[in-house]
Chains A and B, each alone.
Chain A
Amino acid sequence: MRYLAPASVDEAVSALAAEPGKTGILAGGTDLLVQMKTGLIEPDLIVDIKKINDLNAIRRENGGFRIGAGVSGAQMGEHAELARAWPGVVESVNLIGSTQIQGRATAAGNLCNASPAADSVPALIAASAVASVAGPGGTREIAVEDFIAAPGQSVLEKGEIVVSLFLPSRPEHASDAYERFIPRTEMDIAVVGVGISVDTSAEGEVKNARVGIGAVAPTPLLVNEAADAIVGTKLDEEALERCASAAMAACSPINDKRGTIDFRIKVAGALAKRVAKRAYCRARG
């Protein structure tokens, strides 16, 4: 096994593209190293991207935020403007693992690991986040909801890496929220995760909404029907019920050690209502 710490994206891409064996990209390593330790993967080449300076910063761009692929959850939490504009995304990243994990773990790594239960992904989906990808064939942009193909599998091709995640600018009266259900209070994996972003009028009517849900299907989902249920409303009980029903209808979970089908669906509905309310309250200040 070889370890490489390139100084540029180009160098990283060429090394990954040229490697005939298995490769692993090391961002925070909080998934990768665990998977190596348990023997799940045995890469021949590890490319550490945290040494690429460009990837370690959060930059403002067109009123939005470009978050480098090497930026840790802790860095995101400490970025006051980001936390004000996208509190839901930031809270989703900041409940990953523990303080120690957040010092290393990246949002890009959370996405690239492609787990159906990844915490930041429903929040990123709700936020209309876009991943910027560099590869041997150039660069491309992929919407987060299109990024995960199957459990543990992203749409990235050989040699491609995520360079950054982009979060758009926020109008006034807009906000987001994320909540997950776990049987414990921390250090656990989402049994259901819901991220919702809303954009409201001066009068308090929901103009636009996006709903992302995780851990209830093979991949995290963008649920337009749940968003449609609250658009044009002031989030009355009935709208919330419709939002919950739509979220529940989108679920296709499995029975496993973390929860039954019935349980996950019910909890998805309960969370959809709670998260919608929180996002809305934040948007209304």
Chain B
Amino acid sequence: MNKIDDISGTEYKYVGTRPVRPDGVDKVTGKAQFGADLYAPGMLFAKILRSPHAHARILSVNTDKAEALDGVKAVLTYADLELGDGGHDLEDDMNHVLENVMARGKALYDGHAVAAVAANSASIAKRALKLIDVEYEVLPHVTDIEKAIAPDAPIIHEDMYTQDMDPKPEKPSNVARRMEIGHGDIEAGFEKADFIFERRFRTEAAHQGYIEPHACLANYRSDGHAEIWCCTQGHFMVRSACAALLGMDLSKLRVTASEIGGGFGGKTTVFIEPVALALSRKCGRPVKLVMDRDEVFRASGPTPSSVIDVKIGANKEGVITAGFAELWFQGGAFPGSVIDLGAMCSFACYNLENVKAIGWDVVVNRPKSAAYRAPGAPMAAFAVESALDDLADRIGIDPIDFRLKNAAEEGTIASFGPKFRRIGLKETLEAAKASDHYNSQLGPNQGRGVASGFWFNFGGTTSASIKIELDGTAVVTVGTPDIGGSRASMCQMAAETLGIPYEDVRCIVADTSSLPYSATTEGSRTTHSSGMATVYAAQNAIGVMCSRAAMIWGIPEDAVDWKDGHARPSGANAGDFEPMSLAEIAKKAHETGGPIAGHCEFEAGKVGQSFGTHIADAEIDPETGFTKIVRYTVIQDAGRAIHPSYVEGQYQGGAVQGIGWALNEEYIYGEDGRLQNAGFLDYRMPVCSDVPMIETEIVEVPNTGHPFGVRGVGETPIAPPLGAIGNALSHAIGRRMDTIPMSPPRVLEAVNGG
């Protein structure tokens, strides 16, 4: 499939095709090595002791009996971890990460790590955990946002005073920080409104639900150097965090990313890696640590739960006159929920004259939240897209037309500040309006919902190198773990740039010692940033190959051009030489100056935001509250789909995760502050039969900042589903749904008028 490029006007041979992914065969034959698949001679097995209390002072930890057990090689408590200088490249406060990895002084949530054991076998380690005596003084706890911000709430951090408040608060509270964005005058805007929607929305926390639990193998050597093998979205991040938490020199730690069984943002921080490394340092043996599923639920990083008040006004013509949202996100027991991102995403889809969002970062006795696809966006979009749906109904305008009338476009000043460059929201809305789905009939007990969504997409520190082999093939090396088929995309972009077949390019994810720093695979940055670095590294190698051809031909370097995988004289004046292929130049490398390679290290900028519009049809069983999603369509601007199948896969995956979150997934805490559903039986992710085939449409409005026009696509697909399904259900029931998940008991209550 050849395609005309809007940016450069050239035809693409590999970009936009659907070749087989290089890691595919290993994955379907079981040969791929994941986090728990590595074994080392003399390896020990570690287990972590976790707090059964939501909030408790740790009076003492006695490990004597555990240490005396035969087969136990090391026991770890917080005293073995001491923060060094480091981790400044990471967003998280390292003090919080340290305290989250191993409780100090207080256990702050059910599942908080208190001690760890490394032993000859997992069963000995398990037995040893039971021999550790922890004396707790149980404290009052709070796991719910509205209770945590109430005046009489138990205070989790006695020294926490809400930041960025004027005047400064006099008393500590569970609110870590206030933030605000916006422009215009919302009061004046509401005055001009003919219709106003105002309501409180709530969403429960969801977990990323990756199939592979966190797993690592750490080996601390007697010379002070160490290695970690682990499943992570960012091994450079693991290196920085572990070195900081153990007070090590960064350069003495080498981290290799294994294949990864899903991350979705949940593997962008550390939980067990510092523990395994510290145990290994204590006993001088390699230590393997693998979380059980219940540990993943209790003690990794789910999303924040949220409470959102939204107020939107519009006039009779369907123009939004003002938008206001106040959002409370709990990020678990530490500050740093993604409240800023949530507030910024709230109104990102719309061109508003008057807009304001206020965010509050709340702490509760729950595990420290981590990123989950488009962190913060789905909850904000749920509230705002529900409001828009209601207003469209009241104004009497089609919900897509209403969005089109107010949609952000090139030149729109976003509520969070910047002016958008060329974006594709309107194109997705128009495609939705024209789709077969939107124009199809609904059956009995069915409702249809539409919602749009947004994600920024990240750039950031990136490097890539490419080497040209003597046999005329190329190997691309990147530092961003492949969590969605990115190796295939890198190969396509390199093949396109070099002008050699896709099959002649391989891509590997190198360890932290083999490549300069690369930021984590997160924020939908990898195909954009590592892709750019790959293209620039390939161009760099092309420069070398052109100079080799120039040398062979005896003409100046700048008289050689590169086209279709060949060096050619740049014009008639340069000389009359037969074009020389990459393979021919590669073959002569050792006679013309040695190996040929290219590299790129840079700060990737020029990200292109991605917008999407979803259509959901939901059918309810009015007697049981059971909801079935009968049809679902994702339409999103990809900028350029390097590998359309993987773009579609991202759209489908985001929609399915959104369906799960909208309907059944939730963190359920008991009165005792303990997590009630730490397993896939009662944490209800959708199974195959729960979802329809997700229909997709890729819109391509190229990002002019990327050589092939790429925008990230991984996160936007989870922004609209809560809103789209909420709207569909609200229409099916005839009542506005305002609480996620919209589980059968809630739906039945709404059907019965509750």
Contacts and interface: CB of A to CB of B under 8 A. Distances in A.
A188 B748 CA distance: 19
B748 A263 contact: yes
B294 A258 contact: no
Contacts of B126: 39
A141 to B, nearest CB: 33
B689 A186 contact: yes
A62 B744 CA distance: 44
A266 B748 contact: yes
Contacts of A258: 682
B686 interface: yes
A38 B295 CA distance: 11
Contacts of B663: 183
Given A38-B294, A183-B664, A184-B686, A189 B681 contact: yes
Interface stretch (B232-240, B588-596, B619-627): B619-627
Contact of A257 (B625, B676, B689, B752): B676
Contacts of A271: 624
Interface in A244-275: 256-260, 262-263, 266-267, 270-271
Given A184-B684, A189-B682, A263-B749, 19 more contacts: A39-B126, A181-B626, A181-B744, A183-B626, A183-B664, A185-B687, A185-B689, A186-B689, A188-B681, A257-B668, A257-B682, A258-B682, A262-B749, A263-B744, A263-B748, A266-B623, A266-B624, A267-B625, A270-B624
A183 B684 contact: yes
5 contacts: A38-B294, A184-B664, A184-B687, A257-B668, A266-B623
Contact of A184 (B294, B623, B676, B690): B690
A256 B743 CA distance: 13
A146 B689 CA distance: 36
Interface of B: 126, 294, 623-626, 663-664, 668, 676-677, 681-682, 684, 686-687, 689-690, 743-745, 748-749, 752
B337 to A, nearest CB: 24
Contacts of A38: 294
Interface string A179-195: 00101111111010000
B144 to A, nearest CB: 15
A266 B752 CA distance: 11
A183 B744 contact: yes
A189 B677 CA distance: 13
A33 B673 CA distance: 28
A263 B745 contact: yes
B687 A186 contact: yes
Nearest to B625: A263
A79 B126 CA distance: 44
A119 to B, nearest CB: 14
B664 to A, nearest CB: 5
A188 B684 contact: yes
Contacts of B625: 263, 267
B743 A183 contact: yes
Contacts of A260: 745
Nearest to A185: B689
A264 to B, nearest CB: 9
A181 B625 CA distance: 10
B419 to A, nearest CB: 45
Nearest to A261: B745
Nearest to A255: B745
Contacts of A187: 687
A183 B624 CA distance: 9
A107 B617 CA distance: 38
Contacts of B687: 184-187
Contacts of B690: 184-185
Contacts of A263: 625, 744-745, 748-749
A258 B666 CA distance: 11
B204 to A, nearest CB: 12
Contacts of B684: 183-184, 188
B293 to A, nearest CB: 10
A256 B690 CA distance: 23
A263 B690 CA distance: 21
Among B626, B663, B676, B686: residue with most chain A CB under 10 A: B626
A189 B52 CA distance: 25
B60 to A, nearest CB: 24
Nearest to B623: A270
A275 B745 CA distance: 21
A191 B664 CA distance: 14
Most central of A183, A263, A270 by chain B CB within 10 Å: A183
Nearest to A263: B745
Nearest to B744: A183
A179 to B, nearest CB: 10
Contacts of A257: 668, 676-677, 682
A142 B466 CA distance: 74
A259 B623 CA distance: 15
Contacts of A186: 687, 689
Interface in A163-212: 181, 183-189, 191
Name, among B623, B664, B743, the residue most crowded by chain A CB atoms within 10 Å (CB to CB). Answer: B623
Contacts of A185: 687, 689-690
Interface centre among B663, B681, B745, B752 (most CB of A within 10 A): B745
Contacts of B677: 257
Nearest to B668: A257
A181 B624 contact: yes
Given A38-B294, A183-B664, A184-B684, A259 B689 contact: no
B434 to A, nearest CB: 32
B743 to A, nearest CB: 6
B753 to A, nearest CB: 13
Nearest to B293: A38
Contacts of A191: 744
B335 to A, nearest CB: 29
Contacts of A256: 676
Nearest to B754: A262
Contact of A259 (B294, B681, B745): B745
A31 to B, nearest CB: 12
Contacts of B623: 266-267, 270
Contacts of B682: 189, 257-258
A188 B294 CA distance: 17
A96 to B, nearest CB: 13
A263 B681 CA distance: 19
Nearest to B126: A39
Find the residue from A39, A256, A263 having the highest chain B CB count within 10 A: A263
A256 B687 CA distance: 22
A262 B751 CA distance: 13
Contacts of A270: 623-624
Contacts of B626: 181, 183
A187 B748 CA distance: 22
A271 B625 CA distance: 12
Contacts of B676: 256-257
A257 B679 CA distance: 12
Contacts of B743: 183
A39 B49 CA distance: 14
A183 B126 CA distance: 34
A266 B749 CA distance: 10
A183 B294 CA distance: 21
A117 B294 CA distance: 22
Contacts of A184: 664, 684, 686-687, 689-690
A35 to B, nearest CB: 13
Contacts of B624: 181, 266-267, 270-271
Contacts of B681: 188-189
Most buried by A among B294, B663, B682: B682
Contacts of A39: 126
Contacts of B752: 266
A189 B743 CA distance: 15
Nearest to A274: B623
A186 B689 CA distance: 7
B742 to A, nearest CB: 11
Contacts of B686: 184
Contacts of A262: 745, 749
